[in-house]
A and B are shown apart, each in its own frame.
Chain A
Amino acid sequence: MLERPMLSFAAGDGVSLRFQVDDFTNPWEQPDTLILIHAAMGSSRRMHLWVPHLARDVKVVRPDMRGHGQSTIGPDDTLDLERLTLDVVELMDHLGIDSAHLAGSSAGGIVAMNTAISFPDRVKSLGAFATLPGLKVSAGHTQYGSWVDRIGSDGIAGFLRKTIADRFDVEAVDSGFIDWFIAESARNDPESLRRFVPMMAAADISGRLGDVHCPTLCVVPGSDPIHTPEQYALLKDGITDCRFVTYDAKGHNITDAYPDRCAQDLVAFLRDIRR
């Protein structure tokens, strides 16, 4: 990847957050903005394969969530879902836009969903990929506490390498991809994840799905060791305007393994709702 410098803005609590912008929309039109939010242990770079499918239709903005990529995490007591949600809204303020389409992968999808619930006037649509309404929903199934312990003992790379089959059909992906995925994830600070993962594991917005009023696309993996089909089905049952798509795919990380398909489904959804 040829690097382009990221842009930055100061969140409401003063923490500096970075983001990338890709806009190939017709220059004579005022484009809608799509904010694309990566997963825990990810960064904006993990979403870059989505961009060429989307950026002729919408201005694509990819933040690094606080504590990820090039964004700092901030003081100890400020990291919670509400703060991550405000980061999204304040990014919109910085961009000078009233509202945006949001889409996110896994924990990034939780942040996008919570933004749609808390700031309905500012979210035009929601794309939730491999996303539950808070990780507490799956906490009886996946021991997020052990993730923190294992990241502590094995490092991010060691933890991911040992659990990689939870995330990918290792036989089906490109050679070289797994090593890149692990190296890319391991650029993150383990100390930030030690704070981020338990916070997300305690988040539960399943009781507020009825407050998602915008058109919503949910895309979930058919065989995901981290979240169960019953847990994903909460979205279909809870969100009023929900298009629910299941990929016959093994592993949690559909957004990394099938970026073209995810982005093409998202752009088709956006075209449909903007028609």
Chain B
Amino acid sequence: MQSFTASDGVRIAYQVDDFTKPWVQAETLVLLHSAMGCGRRFFSWIPDLAKHFRVVTPDLRGHGSSEIPSGDRPLTLARLVADVTELMDHVGAPRAHYVGTAAGGYLGQRIALDEPERVIRLSLFGSAPGLKQSQALSWIPIVQEKGLRGFLADTITDRFPIGQCDPELVDWFLDQAGGNDPTYIARFITLMADQDWSDEVARIRCPTMVVMPGLGKIGDHAAYEPMRAIPDVVMKTYENTPHNVWDFMPSRCVADVIDFHAGAPGRGRPA
């Protein structure tokens, strides 16, 4: 992976993957992972997406190979957003397609609201307008008692359709997500659990796709309702699915992303 230093001195790791035709100008697409995730969680997404787009995949601060910021500085949504926009400037992509899963989608929504000139199209997987309307704060004492991996293992059916997906994928997820720094993750979740911009989302100007995991395990359907007011929005429900659709049904997610971001003439470009 490569890395750059954010404006407050924290080192942010990222990867670029570009398998587009070099003689055609390609647009850039950024993949923003969820809380406890990392860029590698998109391993099954990137090859197909990178035929169409220059794909930039950061590890959010405190996650993956990025530096964990010290506890004496406040963790803010504005800082997490700035990490992404500074990265996009660093890689020479002031305008790009934004794709986010859960908390990564929160960052995408904030950028679409606050710096709309940056976002060509936005797609969101399991990402309501903030995490306030969820049980996320109740996770923290459980994490403290059982550890991150133990908490995730106990609640795995909220996230994966156990019995219908590769058990090795689930084990890897538990190791990867459960291997994060629990103190930092508690800060991250506490921050996200205080966010709610459902009264603002209607101001998102760019074409937006909202994919809702059908079982509504983390953020129920009501949380997504305000997004119907986004002027140019496609709302999709993946029926009967727990939360982590991006991990256990990557082919469907990638097909929808390609269709939405590169499918029509003038959007991205054909493979």
Chain A residues proximal to chain B, CB less than 8 Å? 1-5, 22, 24-29, 45, 48-49, 51-53, 55-56, 174, 176-177, 179-180, 184
Say yes or no: B91 contacts A2, CB within 8 Å.
yes
User: By DSSP majority rule, is chain B's interface helix, strand, loop, or mixed?
Assistant: mixed
Say yes or no: B28 contacts A52, CB within 8 Å.
no
A4 to B18, CA, bound (A): 9
Tell me the smallest distance from the CB of A270 to a CB of chain B, in Å: 15
Tell me the smallest distance from the CB of B227 to a CB of chain A, in Å: 31
Say yes or no: B43 contacts A24, CB within 8 Å.
yes
Chain B residues proximal to chain A, CB less than 8 Å? 2, 15-24, 28, 40, 43-44, 46-48, 50-51, 54, 56, 91-92, 168-169, 171-172, 176
Return chain A residues, CB-CB under 8 Å to B19.
48-49, 51-52
Say yes or no: B50 contacts A52, CB within 8 Å.
yes
Chain B residue nearest to A22 in the complex (CB): B17
Say yes or no: A176 contacts B23, CB within 8 Å.
yes
Return chain B residues, CB-CB under 8 Å to A53.
47
User: By DSSP majority rule, is chain A's interface helix, strand, loop, or mixed?
Assistant: loop
Say yes or no: B91 contacts A28, CB within 8 Å.
no
Return chain B residues, CB-CB under 8 Å to A29.
168
A26 to B168, CA, bound (A): 9
Query: Which among B20, B23, B43 has the greatest number of chain A C-beta atoms within 10 A?
Result: B23
Chain A residue nearest to B170 in the complex (CB): A28
Partner of A27, one of B15, B17, B28, B172: B172
Return chain A residues, CB-CB under 8 Å to B46.
24
Knowing A52-B50, A184-B22, say if A4 contacts B2 (CB, 8 Å).
yes
Tell me the smallest distance from the CB of A22 to a CB of chain B, in Å: 7
Return chain B residues, CB-CB under 8 Å to A52.
19, 47-48, 50-51
A40 to B239, CA, bound (A): 52
Tell me the smallest distance from the CB of A159 to a CB of chain B, in Å: 20
Chain B residue nearest to A60 in the complex (CB): B47
Given contacts A2-B92, A179-B23, 11 further A-B contacts (CB under 8 A): A2-B18, A2-B28, A4-B16, A4-B17, A25-B43, A26-B168, A27-B172, A49-B21, A52-B48, A53-B47, A56-B47
A-B contact pairs, 14 of them (CB 8 A): A2-B56, A2-B91, A2-B92, A3-B16, A24-B44, A24-B46, A25-B43, A26-B169, A27-B43, A48-B18, A51-B47, A52-B48, A174-B24, A177-B21
Chain A residue nearest to B53 in the complex (CB): A2
Return chain A residues, CB-CB under 8 Å to B169.
26, 28
Tell me the smallest distance from the CB of B208 to a CB of chain A, in Å: 25
Partner of A1, one of B2, B20, B40: B20
Tell me the smallest distance from the CB of B96 to a CB of chain A, in Å: 11
Say yes or no: B43 contacts A26, CB within 8 Å.
yes
Return chain A residues, CB-CB under 8 Å to B18.
1-2, 4, 48
Say yes or no: B22 contacts A180, CB within 8 Å.
yes
A176 to B40, CA, bound (A): 33
